[in-house]
C-alpha cells in the first residue's frame, strides 16, 4: 500500500486537523481543459474515454498535472454506467446529452432488471480505478462515485434528460410500488458498484443525487433519501487500514440537511443556494461539509473569484470539516486560468482558519 503524500482531503472529511482547507472540483476532468478535449478527440467520443481504463486514467490525472494544488482526484466515468450495464443501451447525442435506446417504463421492464456484477458488467470502471490508483502513486486520494437510485431512475424512465420528469413522477405517484421495486434494484447495484470501486482502490466515495431537489419534501424522503441511506449502510467503511468517507450530494437539497446527516454519511455536499454557515450550525459535528461556490463565478475575474472564496471560508469559520468545492460541476466555457485562481485562493486564504 503506497503512503499518501497528501491526505488533507480525507482528514477534513473526518474532521481531523488540516493545515489548509482542501479543494477539488466536481467535473474537474472535463471540457474546459484543452488537454481533455484532445484526449476525447483521440478516443473518438465520451464513452470511448470512459470504457478505456488507460484513457480514463489519463484524463483523471490531467487536472492534477495542471493544478498541483488539487487535493483529490475523482474517477473519470459517468453516472449512467449502471443502467448501461443493465442493458438499456446508453448513447450520447450531440447537443442533447445522454439517451437510452430501451427506457424502463413498464412492470415487465422493471422485472427484467437484475443487480449488476461490477467486475463482470463494468470491468472497465474497476480497471480504471486500479490504473488510476497505481499512477497516482500516493499523490492525492482517489474519489469513486455513483449516481443515486432516484437520479438513475429518472434517466432510465425518461430515456434521457428531462426538464419536468413527467414519466418518472407519473410512475412515482401512480405506481409507487413499481418505483420502489426499481429503486431497490438500483440501490443494491449502487452498493456493490461503490464497494467494487473501494476494493479496487477508491479512498472515498460520493453519491450524486443530481435530481433529488426536483422532489417534494415527502417524496424526497421516501424515494431518494431512504435509498441513499440503504446504500450508506451497505458500504465498506474501512479499507487498506483507513476509514472510507462517504459524501452525499443532493443538488437543491439544502432543506434536508438534518435528515441527510442522519444517514450515517461522513459528509454532505452543498450547492450554492445554501448558506454554509447556516448549514454548519444545523448539522453540528455530525458530518463534514463540502462546497459550495457557484460554478458560474469562475466566469468572473480572478480578483472576484478570490473574494468569493474568502467569503465562503469566513462563513464556514475556523476548524476542520470543510472541503472546498463548487456547488455543482465546472462548466465547459470556463477559462482554465480562472479555475487555477480559484484553487490557489482556497489554499492561500484558508490557512488562518486552521491555526
Q: Report the CATH number at residue 196.
A: 3.20.20.210
Q: Is 92 exposed, middle or buried (0-12, 13-18, 19+ CB in 10 A)?
A: middle
CA distances in angstroms from 197 to 132, 139, 193, 335, listed in the order given = 11, 18, 6, 32
279 occurs within a structural domain: yes
3 occurs within a structural domain: no
173 occurs within a structural domain: yes
- The pLDDT of residue 63 is 98
pLDDT digits (tens, 9 = 90+) for 118-172: 999 999 999 999 999 999 999 999 999 999 999 999 999 999 888 899 999 999 9
39 touches 59 (CB < 8 A)? yes
DSSP string, 115-132: ---HHHH-HHHHHHHHHH
78 is in an annotated binding site: yes
1 occurs within a structural domain: no
199 is in an annotated binding site: no
Among residues 322, 253, 328, the alpha carbon closest in space to that of 298 is found at: 328
326 touches 25 (CB < 8 A)? yes
113 occurs within a structural domain: yes
- The pLDDT of residue 295 is 98
191 occurs within a structural domain: yes
155 is in an annotated binding site: yes
Omega of the bond prior to 292 within 30 degrees of 0, cis? yes
Q: Which residues sit opposite 178 in a β-bridge?
A: none
Which residues does 39 contact at the CB level (< 8 Å), separation at least 6? 49, 55, 58, 59, 62
Which residues participate in catalysis according to the annotation? 27, 31, 40, 78, 155
Domain housing 183? 8-354
29 is in an annotated binding site: yes
216 occurs within a structural domain: yes
Q: How many domains does the chain have?
A: 1
- The pLDDT of residue 162 is 87
299 is in an annotated binding site: no
DSSP 327: S
Q: Is 194 exposed, middle or buried (0-12, 13-18, 19+ CB in 10 A)?
A: buried
Q: State how far Cα 28 lies from the chain centre.
A: 11
355 touches 56 (CB < 8 A)? no
Which residues does 282 contact at the CB level (< 8 Å), separation at least 6? 257, 258
Task: For the chain, give percent helix, strand, coil, nearest 5.
Answer: 50, 15, 35
271 is in an annotated binding site: no
124 is in an annotated binding site: no
289 touches 321 (CB < 8 A)? yes
338 is in an annotated binding site: no
DSSP 338: H
- What are the φ and ψ backbone dihedral angles of 269, each rounded to 5 degrees? -85, 140
- The pLDDT of residue 59 is 97
| Element (DSSP H or E) covering residue 137 | none
State pTM to two decimals. 0.97
Q: Please list the pLDDT of the chain residue by residue as tens digits (355 residues).
A: 678 999 999 999 999 999 999 999 999 999 999 999 999 999 988 888 999 999 999 999 999 999 999 999 999 999 999 999 999 998 887 767 888 999 999 999 999 999 999 999 999 999 999 999 999 999 999 999 999 999 999 999 999 888 899 999 999 999 999 999 999 999 999 999 999 999 999 999 999 999 999 999 999 999 999 999 999 999 999 999 999 999 999 999 999 999 999 999 999 999 999 999 999 999 999 999 999 999 999 999 999 999 999 999 999 999 999 999 999 999 999 999 999 999 999 999 999 999 8
- The pLDDT of residue 1 is 62
Give just the sign of the alpha carbon dihedral 306, 332, 152, 142: negative
72 occurs within a structural domain: yes
Which residues does 96 contact at the CB level (< 8 Å), separation at least 6? 160, 161
> Quick one: residue 159, left, alpha or beta (phi over 0 = left, psi -120 to 50 = alpha)?
left
Amino acid at each position: 500500500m503506497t503512503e499518501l503524500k497528501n491526505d488533507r482531503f480525507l482528514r477534513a472529511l473526518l474532521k481531523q486537523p488540516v493545515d489548509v482547507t482542501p479543494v477539488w472540483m466536481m467535473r474537474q476532468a472535463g471540457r474546459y481543459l484543452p488537454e481533455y478535449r484532445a484526449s476525447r478527440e483521440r478516443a473518438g467520443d465520451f464513452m470511448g474515454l470512459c470504457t478505456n481504463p488507460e484513457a480514463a486514467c489519463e484524463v483523471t490525472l490531467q487536472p492534477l498535472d495542471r493544478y498541483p494544488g488539487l487535493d483529490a482526484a475523482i474517477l473519470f466515468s459517468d453516472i449512467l454506467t449502471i443502467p448501461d450495464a443493465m442493458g438499456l443501451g446508453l448513447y450520447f447525442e450531440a447537443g442533447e446529452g445522454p439517451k437510452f435506446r430501451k427506457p424502463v417504463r413498464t412492470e415487465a421492464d422493471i422485472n427484467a432488471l437484475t443487480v449488476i456484477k461490477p467486475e463482470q458488467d463494468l470491468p472497465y470502471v474497476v480497471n480504471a480505478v486500479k490504473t488510476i490508483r497505481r499512477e497516482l502513486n500516493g499523490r492525492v486520494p482517489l474519489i469513486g462515485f455513483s449516481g443515486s437510485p432516484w437520479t438513475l431512475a429518472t434517466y432510465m424512465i425518461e430515456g434521457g434528460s428531462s426538464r419536468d420528469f413527467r414519466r418518472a413522477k407519473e410512475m412515482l405517484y401512480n405506481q409507487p410500488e413499481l418505483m420502489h421495486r426499481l429503486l431497490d434494484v438500483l440501490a443494491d447495484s449502487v452498493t456493490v458498484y461503490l464497494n467494487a470501486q473501494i476494493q479496487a482502490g477508491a479512498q472515498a466515495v460520493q453519491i450524486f443525487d443530481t435530481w433529488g431537489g426536483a422532489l417534494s419534501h415527502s417524496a424526497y424522503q421516501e424515494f431518494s433519501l431512504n435509498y441513499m441511506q440503504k446504500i450508506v449502510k451497505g458500504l465498506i467503511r474501512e479499507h487498506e487500514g483507513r476509514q472510507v468517507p462517504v459524501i452525499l450530494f443532493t443538488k437543491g437539497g439544502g432543506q434536508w440537511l438534518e435528515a441527510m446527516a442522519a444517514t450515517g454519511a461522513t459528509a454532505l455536499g452543498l450547492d450554492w443556494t445554501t448558506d454554509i454557515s447556516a448549514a454548519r450550525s444545523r448539522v453540528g459535528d455530525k458530518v463534514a461539509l463540502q462546497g459550495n461556490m457557484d460554478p458560474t463565478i469562475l466566469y468572473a475575474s480572478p480578483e472576484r473569484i478570490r473574494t468569493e472564496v474568502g467569503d465562503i471560508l469566513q462563513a464556514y469559520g475556523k476548524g476542520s470539516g470543510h472541503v472546498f468545492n463548487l456547488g455543482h460541476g465546472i462548466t465547459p466555457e470556463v477559462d482554465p486560468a480562472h479555475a487555477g485562481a480559484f484553487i490557489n485562493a482556497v489554499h492561500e486564504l484558508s490557512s488562518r482558519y486552521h491555526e
